[in-house]
Every structure is written in structure tokens, then in C-alpha cells.
Chains A and B, each alone.
Chain A
Amino acid sequence: MIVSIEDIQNEIIDEFSMFEDWEERYQYMIDLGKDLPLIDDQYKTDSNIIKGCQSKVWVHAEMKDDQIEFTADSDAIITKGIIAILIRTFSNQHPKDIINADTGFIDEIGLKEHLSATRANGLVSMIKQLKLYAVAYQTQLK
């Protein structure tokens, strides 16, 4: 049974709602970054780097049983936390659901600043890239 993207996002919102201040939120994000499903070294290539991030972010996507599995890495730990949160919601989902997913929950967990033009350039590009993979695999399914 696939847990829906929305349910996972609600789960994440719940987790973050327990924190009292930014420090706990960021500490948790850093911990999440440490558990990020790491990209296999062979995919850590320049062509898998997401442009527009101050730190380097590599993402790889693979199709397994009509679901996409994402792995990633970054040289910055906070960035790793952010991509870990995204991947947790998008990984092992149908391409169609990824394409249609809303990412407003980022705001709700207090990471809105990463959506600003300078910072989230990073985050916005990451979301775009994950969705692009989904679009590519979706066309393959047809």
C-alpha cells in the first residue's frame, strides 16, 4: 500500500509542529539530512547536479514497479535535510501523483524562507527537478 503524498506531508507537518523554535526545527532537519537515501556514486555526476543551488545537489531517479525512487546527496547539510524532506514525500510514488503534488507544506513546517528567490532558488529548483523526472517517467508509462 502506498501512503499518499498528502498523508506523508501531514505526517511531516505533525513532526515539525512539536518544535518550539527554529533551532529545534533546524536541528531536526540536519538529522533528517543525515538519513537521506544516498545517491549511488556512479550517478553523482555533473549532469545530475541541480542548478540554482548555492550548494551542490545531486539527484537520481529510478522507476520501480511504476513508482519513482529518488536518491540524492548534497555538500551542505541543511540542503541535505531539505532534499530529504522532499524525497520522503515524493519517493515511491506514481509519477502522476508527483506531478500533481502540492508543496505548500514547506511553508507550514516553517521553512518558508527557503522558498525566497535567493535561498530557495535552491528549493524551488529541487521541486522542479523532481517533478521533471516524474514527467519524463510518466511519458514512458504511456
Chain B
Amino acid sequence: MPLLSGLEINAMFNVNDIRKDFPILSRKVNGKPLVYLDNAATSQTPQQVIDVIVDYYSNYNANIHRGVHTLSQEATDLYEQARLKVQAHFNAKFSHEIILTSGTTDSINLVANGFSALLKKGDEIIVSALEHHSNIVPWQMLCDRTGAILKVIPMNEAGELVMDIYDSLLSEKTKLVFTNHISNALGTINPIEYIIEKAHGVGAAVLIDGAQSCPHIKPDVQALDVDFYVASAHKMCGPTGVGMLYGKEEWLKKLPPYQGGGEMIAEVSFEKTTYADLPHKFEAGTPNIAGGIVFGAAIDYMNAIGFDAIAAYENELLDYATKQLLEIEGLKIYGTSKNKTSVISFNLEGVHPYDVGTILDKLGVAVRTGHHCAQPIMEFYKIPGTIRASFAFYNTKEEVDVLVASVKKAKMMLS
């Protein structure tokens, strides 16, 4: 089918060639060439992936899993192929362990909702201090519903989780441990192998939020022995509104369905409904069909470039940018762990991050400012927020230079 064979990618890592894949990178913002450094919020989409969206709607669009007609069967096949791509990418044992959702937030809520049925008063849930709001609120709601208690693994000044305290929080009351693989606000890579092993030691399940890791590394859920792993397509060169949940078969069988609706039932009568098997039990209603298929294409695109090449190049960018930025007097970087990805959260002394972000935007540089949906981290550092520059494999050292020059200019204008 043209939909899939249309994906042609350059095998050698050459950033100038790669940039040609991304039409948006050649646009101007406020009269200046766009320097897109907000990749941790959402990544850009290569033409090969955009083509799949167009191809899907031009040639295959139909509802899936229910039609006998050819279009519906083709669309169903494509959607199920996408699930297989996600399975292969994350190295899940079974394809029915992959639930396609609307994104990380949706995946987390699915699990949190399911645990309502499994927790009782006094059970404990451990979350990390580095969490995104989407990973805090569902657990607070779960605790409200069940009477379970939320415990927090604190962080240190470098933005790393304190493992000694984690050890001391674990007990036979611990039923669930949740942490992100990589912090969106600081870029810290958390020691999830250790966290998972220790949690399993007390019989607790572990959910890892991979929203920020999947753009940079390729997680192997079997090697990690993780119980649940979640991610969003839009941070991996894919479309918004689609994401994944990996759950070990035994866990997904234990959890009750999340939403009721079409696709998730086996038989319905007014007396009793039996639910469909995995994965459909968790996929009520018409899913984001195009989104799922395009997610598969985005995974293909990133794998064709290669995660080793991506990580090596991004680390080079990170080192280069860190060094250049630190030369600016009064600039402080938050999140200084040796284990981090290409995210730099920083502030200029005596200057509000919002002011800097506003000036940078005028200069064509897109960064995020604010608390990055992680207010507890900002409270820890006693700051209103940070300026966050996050780099992807299609960014260049020249763009880092523009960032640095722009920060200097902002500093001059603002102080």
C-alpha cells in the first residue's frame, strides 16, 4: 500500500538533510527564521508523516472493526498494523498489551480509574516530586475515591529523586508507584530500573510516564519489567490527540474497563454486558484512527533515523548549549543532574522568565516559560518559573547560537 511505502528516510544522520523533512522549520516568526526550542511541549512533524495523514484521508478513511466492506477492512488493517509498530517499538510481549489512547494524560487516567476498583483505605501510592500535573491530579482523585494515601519521593537541588527516601517510603502498604521516566521541567532521567525493582520487592505495580523519554530513547518494557508505560505521539514527531498505554497482560486483565461504549463490548443486553477482550476492552468508541496510523508512521520515521544517533546528537547539542548559556553572567540552570536529556531550564538573575520568553519570541526563538505544569518543582526552587529550551534532533548548533545571542539581548533590554 502506498500509505506505508511512501515513507522514505535518509539513513545517514545529517541534520541539514533531516531539517528538509520538516516544512515548518523554514517558516518565519515575527520576521525572523523560526528557532523552535519547545520540543518538550510538542515536536514538529516531518513531511513523510504529514503525507500519511493526507494519504489516509485521501484513500482509506472508514470506520474500523465493524465494516465488511473493503475500505473498512483496509483501515482496520492499517490501524492494527500501527498497534504492531507500537508493540515492536516498545518491545511488548503481546500486541493486546498496547492500548491506543488519546495521549499520556488519557493513559494515566485509564490506569488510575482502573485502580479505584483495586485499592482500599490505607493503601499507599508513591509519586515523584518531579511530576507533571497530569501525573499528580489523577492520583489525588484516586486517593479521594478510595481513601488511599499519596506519598512523595522528594528531589534534591540538582533535580534528582532521593532514592534513600524512596526506599524508606516503600512498604507492604504500597500498591502503586508512579514517576516520569524523564522530567519535562528539568530533563532529569530518573533511575526507573531501580524504582521498578524496589517496588516489585514489596509487590507494588509501577507506571512510568514516558512522555518525555520517548522522543529521545527507545524503552524496552520487557527488559524494564515495568507494569505500565505511557507516552504521547505528539512528542515523537506524530500527531496530537493520540498516545499509548502499555500494560502487562495480567494487569490489564485485572483492571476494569475505563469508558463504556461501542468497540469495547462483546455482547450487550439490558441485563448484562460482557466486555471485549484486550485491547478493545479499553478502546470504547471510534478511536482516533488516522492518529493511530500516523503514530505508527512517526515511530517508523524516528527509528529510521535511529535512536542511538538521535541521543548522541542531542547530547552534543545539550553540552554545547549548556556551556554557551553558562557563560552569560547571572544565568542559572535548574536541573543539573549528570543524567539528563536535551532540556535546559534556566533563569536570568533578577529577571522574570515571562519577560525573557516575550523578547525571545520577538527574535523568532520559541521557548516555554512558566512552571511547565510542575508547580511543586518551582516551589522547591522558590521561583515563579523558568525559561525552558528543549532541543530535538533537528535543531542545530547555529540555532543554539541564536538562542544564546537572544538571551543576551533580552538581558540587555530587561535589566
Chain A residues at the B interface, C-beta cutoff of 8 Å = 22-23, 26-27, 30, 54-56, 75-79, 113, 119
Given contacts A26-B359, A54-B385, A56-B384, contact A76 B413 (CB under 8 A): no
Residue from A54, A56, A113 with most neighbouring chain B CB atoms (10 Å): A54
Complex Cα distance, B370 from A119, in Å, reads 12
Chain B residues at the A interface, C-beta cutoff of 8 Å = 30, 351-352, 354-355, 358-359, 361-362, 369-370, 384-385, 413-414
Is A54 within 8 A of B414, CB to CB?
A: no
Complex Cα distance, B85 from A20, in Å, reads 53
Instruction: Report B205 CB to chain A, min CB distance, Å.
Output: 37
Is B413 within 8 A of A30, CB to CB?
A: yes
Complex Cα distance, B77 from A75, in Å, reads 55
In the assembled complex, 13 residue pairs joining A and B whose CB atoms fall closer than 8 Å, in A order, are: A23-B362, A30-B414, A54-B369, A55-B352, A75-B352, A75-B384, A76-B355, A77-B355, A77-B414, A78-B358, A79-B355, A113-B361, A119-B358
Is A79 within 8 A of B354, CB to CB?
A: yes
List B contacts of A76 (CB < 8 A): 352, 354-355
Complex Cα distance, B385 from A58, in Å, reads 18
List A contacts of B361 (CB < 8 A): 113
Question: Which residue of B is nearest A77, CB measured?
Answer: B355
Please tell me which one of the listed residues A22, A26, A77 contacts residue B352 in the complex, with CB atoms under 8 A apart.
A77
Residue from A27, A76, A79 with most neighbouring chain B CB atoms (10 Å): A76
Please tell me which one of the listed residues B30, B385, B414 contacts residue A22 in the complex, with CB atoms under 8 A apart.
B30
Given contacts A22-B30, A76-B354, 11 further A-B contacts (CB under 8 A): A54-B385, A55-B352, A55-B354, A55-B355, A56-B384, A75-B352, A76-B355, A77-B351, A77-B355, A79-B354, A119-B358
Instruction: Report B386 CB to chain A, min CB distance, Å.
Output: 12
Given contacts A22-B362, A26-B413, contact A78 B384 (CB under 8 A): no
Closest CB pairs A-B (n = 7): A76-B352, A54-B354, A76-B354, A55-B354, A78-B355, A76-B355, A54-B370
Instruction: Report A74 CB to chain B, min CB distance, Å.
Output: 8
List B contacts of A77 (CB < 8 A): 351-352, 355, 414
Complex Cα distance, B385 from A56, in Å, reads 11
Is A26 within 8 A of B362, CB to CB?
A: yes
Instruction: Report B128 CB to chain A, min CB distance, Å.
Output: 25
Instruction: Report B299 CB to chain A, min CB distance, Å.
Output: 30
Instruction: Report B31 CB to chain A, min CB distance, Å.
Output: 9
Is A27 within 8 A of B385, CB to CB?
A: no
List B contacts of A26 (CB < 8 A): 358-359, 362, 413
Please tell me which one of the listed residues A22, A27, A30, A55 contacts residue B384 in the complex, with CB atoms under 8 A apart.
A55
Instruction: Report B28 CB to chain A, min CB distance, Å.
Output: 14
List B contacts of A23 (CB < 8 A): 362, 413
List B contacts of A79 (CB < 8 A): 352, 354-355
Complex Cα distance, B413 from A103, in Å, reads 27
Instruction: Report B382 CB to chain A, min CB distance, Å.
Output: 13
Instruction: Report A64 CB to chain B, min CB distance, Å.
Output: 31
Complex Cα distance, B154 from A1, in Å, reads 60
List A contacts of B362 (CB < 8 A): 22-23, 26
Complex Cα distance, B354 from A56, in Å, reads 10
